[in-house]
Chain A
Amino acid sequence: MAPKHPSDTARPLMALLYDKTVRSIIYQVLVFGGVFFLGWYLVSNVQTNLDEQNIATGFGFLDREAAFGISESVISYSPQDNYGRALAVGILNTIKVSLTGIILATIIGTLIGIGLVSKNWLVRFIGKSYIDLFRNVPLLLQLFFWYALITNGLPGVRQALNPLPGTFLTNRGLYIPIPADNPAWFWVFIAFVVGIIGSFVLRRWSFKRLEATGQVFPHLSVGLGIIVGLPILTWLLFGAPVEMNVPALQGFNFKGGLNMSPEFFTLLLGLTVYTATYIAEVVRSGIQSVPKGQSEASTSLGLKPSWTMRLIILPQALRVIIPPLTNQYLNLTKNSSLAVAIGYPELVSISNTTMNQTGQAVEGVAIFMTVYLGISLLISVFMNWYNKRMALVER
């Protein structure tokens, strides 16, 4: 009998090792084993460490009395309330500053973005300088700068700056007049919402009619009329209240009007100025992505300029603009967490206080990470939906 060659037995094994499926299974088992072991090791360490420090795990602490004050909140809050409510205040404050910031940054960013494609060299120069300047300096530094400028640089309440009638700028924040309390405003707001819904319904209907009969209905102008007209009509029905609640100096501080604390004002200013630089670039690239030939072709087909804009240019520009714009909204929301450094009580700041008081670091970090992840996922779900709707349908 011929001696067996050693490679005869080894070969099937080696061949197995070179098989694609087998190899991928081996890789995955290795990765899974590694991740599983690491996770188990970390969790067991956390358990031992927490037991040693006598910290009970779990979210029971949310029901305990918070016993710390929060300087501003959308809902009522007092130090006797529990940690759960304090965190809710933080979430609402995050939403408040993010939403306001998103609106302001979109307006400013769009204006600058349009300026970047202007024919006027000076306008382009100012736009570019603004972007270069504010984009290349860390946001945290900008926040510190604005905060120092507002709290140290602005005058006290008695010498308040008065840039516009009824508006006061002091080291205690910004005071602006708001319409005086009147039931009318609530119904005006309702009318506004109804107007928006109504104009959407109208748009649907006008498209259906266009497809069925070929007749064009001016849904845009009529819709705009409903959105603006309905609130005005409601306002008139309530006897057109014009009374304003103007801030006035009383004792040591201003009373009345709308007060933005220095912290809120700083954060809003910083987030707006910083994010607007990114939005401007997004808007510019969107506008420039539409070839000039498109508008020329549309004009030569005899479309009105407003139709060219609405039907040809905007849909193509928005396809490029919306995804990165949404990313910037998300960034602004996440960047609002820097408020922890200047003392605006948003989610991270309040979680931080909670963690310091209770020692529940794992739960605290878990809570605010979950909230932000939730916001991110919501936005990305919306994005995917919108992308599908807007995306170019190719063969």
Chain B
Amino acid sequence: MTSMIPSQARPTGGTTWKRSVRWLRNNLFSTPLNSIVSLVCIYVLWEILSALVGWGLVHASFSPSKEFCGEVSGACWAFVHDNYRFLLFGTYPAESQWRPLIAIFMLLAGILVSMNRRFWSPWLAVAWVVGFFVMYIILGGGVLGLRPVSSNNWGGLTLTLILAVVGIAFAAPLALILALGRRSEMPFVRVICVVFIEVFRGVPLISVLFMASLMFPLFLPDGVSINKMLRAQVGIIFFQAAYLAEVFRGGMQAIPSGQYEAADALGLSYWQKMSKIILPQALRLVIPPTMSTFISLFKDTSLVTIIGLFDLLAATKAAINDPTWRQQYIEGYVFIAIIYFCFCFFMSRYALYLDREMHKGMSH
């Protein structure tokens, strides 16, 4: 990524003091108008930051007990101390909370490993499948002497992470199939993919979730039922796969037709052509929009709150509905906003890094 903002010539020479003065003059006080704008900005920033720091740090109570909160005018962080288990694990039985904790660590470790390009191989996919399986056993229990815990009790950050990671893991391959189908020469296959993509892209996610929670049970034969979490998960996967399919299609379209023709001329089969020539180039092109789809998938998991699943947001809402913490709604929302922010910001920075890395070998 190159910034298109015309960068000021890097000041060279002079002491640090002189250099900083020059930087200030070039970037903030180059013209009278610019100086006025800068001063206004400094004032606005000062007002906002002092209010935030005053509320969150200076005038806040960090005592784990709520009784001191009446004496301070700022935040009451005892909320976090009292509720963090609830926000992380939801209503998972208290004595078994090490199980969701392990699941969270497994997911985070899996993400960190997958981010490293050295581990990118088919084995990684196998490891993920095995990992999911182990995680479901740890969470669900019922074997190896683990107490069975219904998925209705999986909640909080655990549920949010599961929905997001499983969503990404399944939406990506499905999206690839849809994108290939949409560009296929077989008319019937193409029509089905187009309809699937356009329908899911044309409606709000919440309607897909409603469909999963209200309508889906009607589709199943008598006596068969699939639990709510799985239904919501499928809804999320279908929805995001439709978006991702369009991203992938864009990448495939951007590959010059000469590449397709060259592959054909070499006598490669369709799958060889796609997996060895087209997709590696196409996917590399669409890293930024792919990552923003993943980020929006992560944020969108919060919508399951509306259909009554107990994710991080729903847990927070429940915590501040408790009469004890009714006054601490700002602390509650700010706390989980920070959690969501960290994940999403981290993902967007990783996307930038990856994009740079992938294009390293391409420029001459």
Contact = CB atoms under 8 A, between A and B. Distances in A.
A392 to B, nearest CB: 16
Contact of A372 (B202, B299, B333, B348): B202
Nearest to A27: B186
Interface string B309-336: 0000100010010000000011001001
Contacts of B329: 148, 152
B203 A31 contact: no
B306 A340 contact: yes
B84 interface: no
Interface string B218-258: 11111000000000000000000000000000000000000
Interface stretch (B26-34, B99-107, B116-124, B137-145): B26-34
B contact patch SS: helix
A25 B330 CA distance: 60
B214 A361 contact: yes
B41 A122 contact: yes
Interface string A266-309: 00000000000000000000001000100000000000000000
Given A139-B299, A140-B302, A373-B199, A24 B37 contact: no
Contacts of A361: 214-215, 218
B355 to A, nearest CB: 15
A365 B207 contact: yes
Nearest to B326: A152
> How many residues of A sit at the interface, in one of the four size bands?
35 or more
B287 interface: no
B169 interface: no
B340 A136 contact: yes
A139 B303 CA distance: 9
A368 B210 CA distance: 11
B345 A348 contact: no
B333 A145 contact: yes
Interface in A338-395: 338, 340-341, 348, 352, 355, 361-362, 364-365, 368-369, 372-373, 376-377
Contacts of A368: 203, 207
Interface residues of B, number: 58
Interface string A132-152: 110111111100110011001
Nearest to A338: B206
B129 interface: no
Please indicate which of the listed interface residues A35, A119, A341 has the most CB atoms of chain B within 10 Å of its own CB.
A119
A42 interface: yes
Contacts of A139: 299
Given A144-B317, A145-B333, A372 B5 contact: no
Given A45-B220, A341-B305, A137 B207 contact: no
B284 interface: no
B227 to A, nearest CB: 18
A28 B193 CA distance: 12
B27 A120 contact: yes
B341 interface: yes
A191 B41 CA distance: 40
Max chain B Cβ within 10 angstroms of own Cβ: one of A35, A141, A348: A141
Contacts of A312: none
Nearest to A288: B4
A275 B169 CA distance: 27
Contacts of A108: none
Contacts of B211: 365, 369
Interface string B45-79: 10000000000000000000000000000000000
Interface of A: 24, 27-28, 31-32, 35, 42, 45-46, 48-50, 52, 117-126, 132-133, 135-141, 144-145, 148-149, 152-153, 288, 292, 334-335, 337-338, 340-341, 348, 352, 355, 361-362, 364-365, 368-369, 372-373, 376-377
Q: Which 9 A-B pairs have the closest CB atoms?
A: A376-B202, A136-B344, A334-B204, A122-B41, A288-B4, A121-B27, A337-B204, A138-B299, A138-B302
Given A35-B192, A152-B329, A369-B207, 18 more contacts: A49-B222, A117-B4, A120-B37, A122-B37, A124-B5, A136-B345, A138-B299, A144-B333, A149-B330, A153-B330, A334-B203, A335-B204, A340-B306, A355-B214, A364-B214, A368-B203, A369-B199, A376-B203
